[in-house]
A = this chain, B = another copy of it.
Amino acid sequence: MIKKNLNVNGKKIVVVADSETSLADTLREQLKLTGTKVGCGQGQCGSCSVLLDGKVVRSCVTKMNRVPEGACITTIEGIGSPEKLHPLQLSWTVHGGAQCGFCSPGFIVSSKGLLDTNPKPTRDDVRDWFQKHRNACRCTGYIPLVDAVVDAAKVLRGEITEDDLAFKMPADNRIWGSKYPRPSAIDKVTGVTDYGADIGLKMPVGTLRLALVQAKTSHAKILSIDTSEAEKMPGVVKVITHKDVKGKNRITGLITFPTNKGDGWDRPILCDEKVFQFGDAIAIVAADTESNAKTAADKVKVSLEELPAYMSAPAAMAEDAMEIHPGTPNIYFEQKIAKGGETAPVMSSAAYTVEDNFYLQRQPHLTMEPDVGLAYFDEEERLTIQSKSIGIHLHHAMICPGLGIEPEKLRIIQNPAGGTFGYKFSPTMEALLGVAAMAVNKPVTLKYDYFQHITYTGKRSPFFVNLKLGADKSGKLLAMESDWSVDHGPYSEFGDLLTLRGAQFIGAGYGTPNIRGLGRTVCTNHAWGSAFRSYGSPQSFFASESLMDELALKMGMDPLELRSINVYRKGDTTPTGQAPDVYSLSGMIDKLRPLYKDAMEKCKKGSNPSKKKGVGVSIGIYGCGLDGPDASEIAIELTKDGVTLSTGWEDHGQGADIGALGTCHEGLLPIAIKPDQIKLVMNDTAKVPNSGPSGGSRQQVVTGNAIKNGCEMLLNAMRKPDGSYRTYDEMVAENIPLKYSGAWTASVCTPCDENAQGSPFSVYMYGVFMAEVTVDTETGKTKVDKFTVFADVGKINNRLAVDGQIYGGVAQGIGLALTEDFEDLKKHTNLIACGLPYTKDVPDSIDIHYVETPREHGPFGAAGVGELPLTSSHVAIINAIANATGVRITKLPALPEKVLAGLKK
């Protein structure tokens, strides 16, 4: 132990700490200065940045014995507070710098370090600083953060005032369509927001800390689990195995399609008979401290019989492959698509055909915050699980039977989540927390380190796609033939649905009249498939939007023009035979055209043999909703102070708060309520109706409509015969109910049939993407110089949130195209190895052009937004590489060595 005198945020503090402890842990665990976040814990994300004697340091890798006696430390808590924001914090809120907000404290502290030394930085100075200090963000694409620093610097230099910078209410008092900062922003930028680990640290004394005993192999039979030595270790309260699970010990995917050959009960909470993938939980140690729990976990002896591990779809599909889940074939689901007539005759007579094979990798989500949660019994003896769940009611149903608890005795709450991008559509640790809390009858917390977070949460499922297009001599598409295999890992939940997405999105955007194809879901021993932004579409568009360029090349036609003549027009239908809700693609292409020509021109001029420049385009489409008649419910209540809106609109970081607030405010315009009079109660199954999960960009449409409906019901009740509105007091006096349920169902939808024909979504989003790249022909490295987005996401609720979604989605598209992967279990275990884009990997120029076609079925004309930018932005980049170099990458990511190999061919 060392005793140090420190000055932390201007306060003299004496701290006794283990000399090997990190400064971050000391600040967080001992001083509860939880504004400093620990993301990767390896110095790769900068979430833990603090100023140490004025210098930016990553506190997670700064050991206490390296902190000088008497050192001055500034954390986010020392920079400003909700009542007195620092200009950087103000600027962060007005530029939408905080989406999930987990990285915000680190970025702001780092930026403070920059402005303290360089009061007038250029944008490049800011970008260099972020890059140098490894400040990573997964939500924003960095541009809003650079904007924020530049404007804060102006305030600090006195060139503008805080008032100039602050958001101003529009004259009409409508916030719909404005840049009203999200309500949660202030707490996020001041370090006040407590994420799961922070809440865990602030749990009552006596809370037990959990550690998992996990499989270090990918496929094995469990022979025995010996917990005896672990049970005797210091601080251990209990070692929990499958024998302690009261229920079925299985997580169910619930909505398994009837033709699925599995029953959906394939995922154990705690492994009993078999290990299905690396990291599978075999036991849980509950102990007084995390360190004691982990030490004891190492002492649990698991005896295994190793089995062949099938680490990809083709391996698991091999004839001699054993059934991973005995009794269920590894190919457990098949989805046909059949639209129009047979394709074989059309293909044989087509003027042009192209065919290729594509592979889109197992993209990791790389959230800044690793997975975390806690559980306890609440005041009504409900087992209460707080996690990053983006489907609180969904997960409630998925884990309840496995735990063996009555549904009314289970409560799920979403913590502020430091990014999910979909991985939390699957339960991760919820059931483990529940099992543990039930076994020890004490509050418990569980926190994954980044290794666990990467290796033991779901990933985007790779697609192996074979695709063939046939076109007439003008380039008009006549037919498409598709075959796709989905490596869904060992657990089936939503695997059938994902496979259907292939049918829905391969070739989407074009009114191709004849389609035949077959997709299949394959059980493997690699990471289980979970949702990821644009679920199923990046894989689909990678094939079809790449092949469109191949077709254009073959035809000698401009790729944009080929798209232009094929995109949806009146009379066209989607691959599922649905009439598109709007027809904006063609118009967007027309608007892009001059920019595209300029870009082409510029590239041509800028290219040289060592730096080749190119331009690529792609189109992207995504449906807003769960397939078929998706539904949502909310509650709204008139109160003395305004209204209370209760909804389970879970937040990844995308802005559920501003989504709900903006919609509700618009819905209540007639009574001229102020935004801060709308109190949001969110994401607690004990308090809010079932608004459905936050996936598939459904919430703005489906829950947005439910909110609109609730507002209408309330307004109807408040409306007087003369058209004016009753006050709260008048409502009470007249004994008129104050609380209303708002509900909406996408009743215009029909689920897809066995041929994948149907009208699955009520609203779609449409985009056209253009990437400009430079390929270094010596290294094979691709740099995205500029990115242009045309987006029709309907009427825009909140411009900051929508901009942020698009910037962030494009940045993820860049990662998907060029660097990101989770394939090698030994190598792909941290942010850098997994290819996370840092500031300078994302261009400072991402131009967004909105085409706001109002949607009939969207509330106030809105569609969703989150999935759109990642549908096919990666393909624009891949097409640009081909444009620059002639190298066609069909297996992602386009790592330098692959490009280089192509160049050498």
**Cβ of A197 to closest chain B Cβ, rounded Å:** 13
A384 & B3 in contact (Cβ 8 Å cutoff): yes
In the assembled complex, 22 residue pairs joining A and B whose CB atoms fall closer than 8 Å, in A order, are A1-B376, A1-B443, A2-B378, A11-B82, A11-B187, A11-B190, A12-B192, A16-B199, A16-B374, A17-B204, A18-B204, A21-B204, A26-B204, A29-B204, A30-B202, A30-B203, A30-B205, A31-B32, A206-B235, A206-B288, A235-B237, A235-B288
**A376-393, CB < 8 A from B:** 376-379, 384, 386
A16 & B205 in contact (Cβ 8 Å cutoff): no
Partner of A15, one of B26, B202, B413: B202
What 1/0 mask marks residues of chain A from 495 to 518 whose CB sits below 8 Å from any chain B CB? Answer: 000000000000000000000000
| Segment touching B, from A289-297, A555-563, A653-661, A690-698 | A289-297
Residue A14 interfacial (CB < 8 Å): yes
Chain B residue nearest in CB terms to A18: B204
B206 & A292 in contact (Cβ 8 Å cutoff): yes
Instruction: Pick the most buried of A1, A10, A19, A32: most chain B CB atoms within 10 A of its CB.
Output: A1
Interface residues of chain A, those whose CB is within 8 Å of chain B, are: 1-3, 10-19, 21, 26, 29-32, 65, 81-83, 187, 190, 192, 194, 199, 202-206, 234-235, 237, 288-292, 374, 376-379, 384, 386, 413, 443
A194 & B288 in contact (Cβ 8 Å cutoff): no
Chain B residue nearest in CB terms to A442: B234
Specify which chain B residues have a CB less than 8 angstroms from the CB of A10 in the assembled complex: 81-83
In the bound complex, what is the Cα–Cα distance between A26 and B203 (angstroms)? 9
**Cβ of A5 to closest chain B Cβ, rounded Å:** 9
> Taking A1-B443, A205-B29, A379-B1 as contacts, is the C-beta distance between A13 and B192 under 8 angstroms?
yes
B234 & A234 in contact (Cβ 8 Å cutoff): no
Chain B residue nearest in CB terms to A26: B204
Specify which chain B residues have a CB less than 8 angstroms from the CB of A291 in the assembled complex: 205-206
Partner of A234, one of B19, B204, B237: B237
Specify which chain B residues have a CB less than 8 angstroms from the CB of A81 in the assembled complex: 10-11
Specify which chain B residues have a CB less than 8 angstroms from the CB of A12 in the assembled complex: 82, 187, 192
**Cβ of A184 to closest chain B Cβ, rounded Å:** 9
In the bound complex, what is the Cα–Cα distance between A850 and B590 (angstroms)? 94
In the complex this chain forms, how many copies of it are found?
A: 2
**Cβ of A46 to closest chain B Cβ, rounded Å:** 23
**Cβ of A644 to closest chain B Cβ, rounded Å:** 11
B288 & A13 in contact (Cβ 8 Å cutoff): no
Chain B residue nearest in CB terms to A207: B16
Chain B residue nearest in CB terms to A237: B234
**Cβ of A780 to closest chain B Cβ, rounded Å:** 47
**Cβ of A677 to closest chain B Cβ, rounded Å:** 15
In the bound complex, what is the Cα–Cα distance between A674 and B443 (angstroms)? 53
B32 & A194 in contact (Cβ 8 Å cutoff): no
B289 & A2 in contact (Cβ 8 Å cutoff): no
Known contacts A1-B379, A11-B82; 9 additional CB pairs below 8 A are A10-B83, A12-B187, A14-B199, A16-B443, A30-B204, A205-B291, A206-B235, A206-B292, A234-B237
Specify which chain B residues have a CB less than 8 angstroms from the CB of A203 in the assembled complex: 16, 30
**Cβ of A41 to closest chain B Cβ, rounded Å:** 15
**Cβ of A13 to closest chain B Cβ, rounded Å:** 7
Chain B residue nearest in CB terms to A186: B12
Closest 10 CB pairs of A and B: A32-B32, A288-B288, A1-B376, A11-B192, A30-B202, A10-B83, A2-B379, A206-B289, A205-B289, A18-B204
**Cβ of A27 to closest chain B Cβ, rounded Å:** 10
Specify which chain B residues have a CB less than 8 angstroms from the CB of A30 in the assembled complex: 32, 202-205
Chain B residue nearest in CB terms to A287: B288
